[in-house]
C-alpha cells in the first residue's frame, strides 16, 4: 500500500488549484480547493472526485449490484482504510497518475435497493488508470482528466456503464445549471431530471465558485464489445 498522501497544484487566477489524494481512498481525489473553497464532499468512500463501473453481470443492471468503485466499498464508510488497492502513483508538479484495483461497492450478501450483490468477493479485477493535469494552454482553471478502464478477460458483460468521472460536491453548491450548446450559455436546471446529455455545472448561490464536467464522446468506428 502506498501510505502517503499526494498533492499537486498550479496557479489559477488569484489562487492555486490544489488537488490531494490520501491513502484512505486508494488514489481517488479527496480534496480539490481553490481560493479557500473546498469543492469535494469526501465524507465516506463514495463521495469523492472519482470513477466507477456498473455492469450487468448476467442480468439487467440493477442499482449497485456489480459496481467496482475507485475509492472503495460501502463498508469502508468514513473509515481510514479502503478495500480498493492503490497499485501505482506518480505525483509531480501539476500532474497526477494512479492505477487502482477497484473494490466492489457492495460486499457479497449485501443489497442495494433490495437487489442482491452479484459479486462473490470484495475485490474486483477491474483496474482504473487516471491521468490528471491542472491547467490547459490559456485555461488555467481547467483540469484535464483522462481515465482508462481495464476489464478482466474472464468476465462477460452485455451492458456496462462507465462512470468516467463524478464529482460529489458539498451541499453549499446548490445552484444547478447546464450548458446549452446551441445558445452557448448556462441555463437553469432543476434537481429532478437525472442524467443529462449536456454538461452540468454546480455553483454556490453567490456565483463565486462552480465546477462542471465536459466530456467529448469519440468512439472508434470499429469498436466492439459492450457499450
- Percent of the chain residues past pLDDT 90, beyond the cut: 85
On the question of pLDDT at 227 being above 60, the answer is no
**Residue 52 CB contacts under 8 Å (≥ 6 apart), including other chains:** 67, 68, 69, 70, 102, 105, 163, 166
Position 213 scores a pLDDT of 93
- 45 phi/psi in degrees, rounded to 5: -105, 15
Residues 82, 79: Cα–Cα separation, whole Å: 8
On the question of pLDDT at 132 being above 90, the answer is yes
On the question of pLDDT at 223 being above 80, the answer is no
On the question of pLDDT at 102 being above 90, the answer is yes
On the question of pLDDT at 3 being above 90, the answer is no
Position 29 scores a pLDDT of 98
Strands 160-167 and 175-180: unpaired
In the chain, where the domains are located: 6-167, 171-214
Residues 189, 195: Cα–Cα separation, whole Å: 11
Position 219 scores a pLDDT of 64
- For the stretch 166-198, pLDDT in tens is 999 999 999 999 999 999 999 999 877 778 889
List the grid coordinates of 153.
478477460
Task: Average the pLDDT over 205-217 and give the result.
Answer: 92
Residues 204, 175: Cα–Cα separation, whole Å: 6
The answer to whether the CB of 144 falls within 8 A of the CB of 132 is yes
On the question of pLDDT at 134 being above 60, the answer is yes
- Alpha carbon separation from 89 to 9, 14, 99, 126, 202 (Å, rounded): 16, 29, 7, 17, 29
- For the stretch 39-59, pLDDT in tens is 999 989 999 999 999 999 988
Amino acid at each position: 500500500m502506498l501510505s502517503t498522501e499526494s498533492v499537486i497544484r498550479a496557479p489559477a487566477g488569484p489562487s492555486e488549484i490544489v488537488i490531494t489524494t490520501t491513502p484512505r481512498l486508494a488514489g481517488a481525489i479527496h480534496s480539490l480547493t481553490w481560493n479557500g473553497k473546498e469543492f469535494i464532499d469526501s465524507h465516506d468512500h463514495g463521495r469523492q472526485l472519482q470513477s466507477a463501473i456498473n455492469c450487468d453481470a448476467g442480468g439487467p443492471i440493477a442499482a449497485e449490484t456489480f459496481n467496482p468503485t475507485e475509492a472503495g466499498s460501502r463498508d469502508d464508510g468514513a473509515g481510514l482504510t479502503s478495500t480498493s488497492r492503490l497499485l501505482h502513483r506518480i505525483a509531480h508538479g501539476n500532474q497526477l497518475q494512479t492505477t487502482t484495483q477497484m473494490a466492489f461497492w457492495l460486499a457479497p450478501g449485501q443489497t442495494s435497493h433490495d437487489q442482491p450483490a452479484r459479486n462473490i468477493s470484495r475485490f474486483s479485477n477491474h483496474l482504473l488508470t487516471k491521468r490528471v493535469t491542472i491547467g490547459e494552454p490559456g485555461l488555467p482553471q481547467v483540469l484535464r482528466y483522462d481515465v482508462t478502464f481495464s476489464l478482466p478477460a474472464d468476465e462477460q458483460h452485455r451492458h456496462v456503464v462507465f462512470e468516467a468521472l463524478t464529482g460529489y460536491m458539498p451541499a453549499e453548491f446548490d445552484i444547478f445549471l447546464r450548458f446549452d450548446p446551441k445558445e452557448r450559455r448556462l441555463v437553469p436546471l432543476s434537481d429532478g431530471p437525472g442524467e443529462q446529455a449536456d454538461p452540468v455545472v454546480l455553483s454556490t448561490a453567490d456565483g463565486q465558485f462552480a465546477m462542471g464536467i465536459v466530456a467529448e464522446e469519440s468512439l472508434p468506428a470499429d469498436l466492439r464489445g459492450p457499450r
